[in-house]
Chains A and B, each alone.
Chain A
Amino acid sequence: MLTDLTIAEAREKLRAREFSAVDLTMAHLHAIETLNPRLNAFITVSHSQALDQARAADEALARGDARALTGIPLAIKDLFCTVGVRTTAASEILRPFVPPYESTVTAQLLRDGAVFLGKTNLDEFAMGSSNMTSAYGPVENPWKRLQDEDAVLVPGGSSGGSAAAVAARMSMGATGTDTGGSIRQPASFCGLVGVKPSYGRCSRWGVVAFASSLDHPGPFARTVRDGAILLGSMAGHDPKDSTSADVPVPDYEAACRRGVKGLRIGVPKEYRSDGMPAEIEALWQKGLGWLRDAGAEIVDVSLPHTKYGLATYYIVAPAEASSNLARYDGVRYGARQDGAELSDMYGNTRAAGFGAEVRRRIMIGTYVLSAGYYDAYYLRAQKVRALILRDFNDAFQQVDALITPTTPSAAFAQGEKMDDPIQMYLNDLFTVGANLAGVPAISIPAGLDANGLPLGLQIIGKPFDEETVFAVSAEMERAAGFTALPQLRAGG
């Protein structure tokens, strides 16, 4: 099946002309036609544009102009602006929005020859951990509980559509964004590799902003090497993003072959929370064993402020969101609701255009930034954030990388954890620290739980040392030998 190939394999075969880029794209469009009505992973499928791009890829291959991703079909989270293709952020307020410009990350993927299949579903404005807050309906996780095949599981979030698309073989890879875990948590729930690079590694220009100091674009793939190929294309300095880092992009694929011999791997003791499921604890120990067997040294470390990460995040992220989302006023773009006066038009547009979770976060953010409360909430959170960064810096004095579970549980069912926002927020317990500190982290599929659902382990590295993170991830991938497949997939 063409849809089962990795990006690395497909690239070789395209270059050898074993099949055409049009064949490869058609196979994925067919998979989308078959599976998407059920999984709802794509909000928009760009059928004819994808075929045009595939034909152009075939011409490039015929000329001998093969680039890193020539002819590779990808799915794009509907948070990346794509010129001429509707970009909704899964919100009613952007339902009619067709960007006149291309985000830097997607422009770089196109520069390298990629084919875009369409725009994937997400939690509204990337605010959520289940894809349940999308105005375009929830996404179904292609994985099923062995004992309960009728339960409809969430793919995680916010990049739930991207994760479901890659897991179900509707796409070979995808873009995502990760503000508190929105790439790594869905990767863990869907048995994928999810890469959140260092802050500043991938440009945020043209990505609909949620919390600017925490938003990280990054890729989803089915192998660590494919993640390295995609990040290599997406990364790089962009003068249009003032926080984009002007540092060279190394060869991530080569880093995957480095091995871990002699590396010092840290185990943060504060991640061993009470009530962690025994099978997740066991998988963590197993992962450490793989690295020890491969010649790494395992070291206990401490990140003392870990437990304050989520509360810090739920001040900083809503504060930045309330500011970023002020632009949706019904004047220049998006859906407008009428009002007798200008202020009514603003209020009605925003009340109708934003869903409940987005309104809740705007309210929290507005409150913590308001006069009289700024110091008590926002300023204090920024100081705790500094302590969290200090924890990581101290740990990285002793070790080259950290290993933790990615999530406190496997994928849960639609409707679960919906009554209390804080229960949903706890999904990001292990992932949020890397966003607050801006350090790179990858989730890899490491095993299955008793229900046959994938569980991820997270590898966290030093700022701009994605290479070590890829080296450790690739070693763990080899040792894990994860070959399980989701029940719902192309050809499945």
Chain B
Amino acid sequence: MSLDTATIRRIASLARLTVTEDQLEPLAHELNSILGWIEQLNEVNVDGVEPLTGGAQMAMKMRDDVVTDGGYPEKILANAPDRAGQFFAVPKVVE
């Protein structure tokens, strides 16, 4: 399976990464090389094997569904690139 530049453009758009035209070819080359190397997993017989999602060999704990933290908007907004009052500000979405 080989990725063409149209696919690269689509993946970049899904990943919200602006990619310039001249970056498409080199990216396709790099990603194809990595994916080609990954293809070796096709040799492994995985019939009947349950997928393993994580490293924790234990059930996750339950906790009460209550608020345990918060109530300091100034601390949270201190890192905002742009703000309006107590809100994060972004470029206009709706005209």
Contact = CB atoms under 8 A, between A and B. Distances in A.
B71 interface: no
A245 B88 CA distance: 36
Contacts of B72: 100
A390 to B, nearest CB: 9
A314 B38 contact: yes
A364 B8 CA distance: 10
A435 interface: yes
Interface in A338-376: 338-348, 350-351, 354, 359-360, 362-364, 366-367, 370
B81 A331 contact: yes
Given A100-B76, A334-B81, A364-B34, A370 B14 contact: yes
Interface in B56-93: 56-58, 60-61, 63, 72, 75-76, 78-82, 88, 90-93
Contacts of A367: 3, 7, 11, 31, 35
A229 interface: no
B76 to A, nearest CB: 7
A344 B92 CA distance: 12
Contacts of A326: 16
B38 A336 contact: no
A383 B75 contact: no
A366 B38 contact: no
Contacts of B90: 331, 342, 345
Given A213-B55, A386-B49, 4 more contacts: A213-B53, A341-B91, A380-B46, A463-B57
| 3 shortest interchain CB distances as A-B pairs | A438-B55, A199-B55, A382-B51
24 contacts: A100-B79, A213-B55, A239-B63, A243-B54, A308-B44, A311-B40, A330-B81, A331-B81, A332-B88, A333-B79, A336-B82, A347-B13, A347-B18, A350-B15, A350-B16, A360-B31, A363-B8, A363-B31, A366-B14, A389-B52, A421-B34, A422-B37, A435-B55, A438-B57
Interface of B: 3, 7-8, 11-19, 27, 30-31, 33-35, 37-38, 40-44, 46, 49-58, 60-61, 63, 72, 75-76, 78-82, 88, 90-93
